[in-house]
Chains A and B, each alone.
Chain A
Amino acid sequence: QVQLMQSGAEVKEPGSSVTVSCKASGGTFGAFAVNWVRLAPGQGLEWVARIIPVLGAPKNALKFQGRVTITADESTTIAYMTLRGLGSDDTAIYYCARESHGDPYYFEDWGQGTLVTVSS
């Protein structure tokens, strides 16, 4: 069973950037896609981006185009998400989630979540 451990809570000013990390332990890292999903206060789950570590080729939701960068380092088994140009509506819990078995886009394993608060 894969365990995903995320970095700690962040408080950021509007307009700044945040980087959240997600370290995988147990199981194979490179071949399985890592996704980022967020949950904003009073809102539902929202998919942000996806990467397959061994391939790269990140994909992201159109609303984050130009603001999000995701990477994955096979040597350290850590995935990263950087979100730039933060606004108050980016305040949310950000989860990494891994597709750990055969069919794509099913999120079997999740990190514990990282609360990002955007406030001046």
Chain B
Amino acid sequence: DIQMTQSPSSLSASIGDRVNITCRASQAISNWLAWYQLKPGTAPKLLISAASNLQSGVPSRFSGSGSGTDFTLTISSLQPEDFATYYCQQANSLPVTFGQGTRLEIK
């Protein structure tokens, strides 16, 4: 199985901050990577597919980059609604595997 390692596991930031969340795959996965946002009481939301492809309706302050084994989710200017938990997921092969999550909290 492909292991996905996210860092940091938690992050405190302020409104307007720029934040980066990184994800490393245990083997090369080209650009087969997704990012999801999860808020309590709601279903996960797909933000980015194919490492950098922003989904329809997702604000442009979100962006993704990387290929191979190293990937980054960037939020350029944090908004109140962005405080949530973020997961990366490899879409290269079954079994699908997720990172352990990054909890983004208000400082």
Contact = CB atoms under 8 A, between A and B. Distances in A.
Nearest to A106: B49
A42 B49 CA distance: 25
Interface residues of B, number: 25
Nearest to A46: B98
Interface in A31-63: 35, 37, 39, 44-47, 50, 59, 61-62
Contacts of A35: 96
Nearest to B55: A108
B98 A110 contact: no
B54 interface: no
A59 B94 contact: yes
A97 B34 CA distance: 14
Contacts of B62: none
A45 B43 contact: no
A40 to B, nearest CB: 12
Interface of A: 35, 37, 39, 44-47, 50, 59, 61-62, 95, 97, 103-108, 110-113
Interface of B: 1, 32, 34, 36, 38, 43-46, 49-50, 55, 87, 89, 91-101
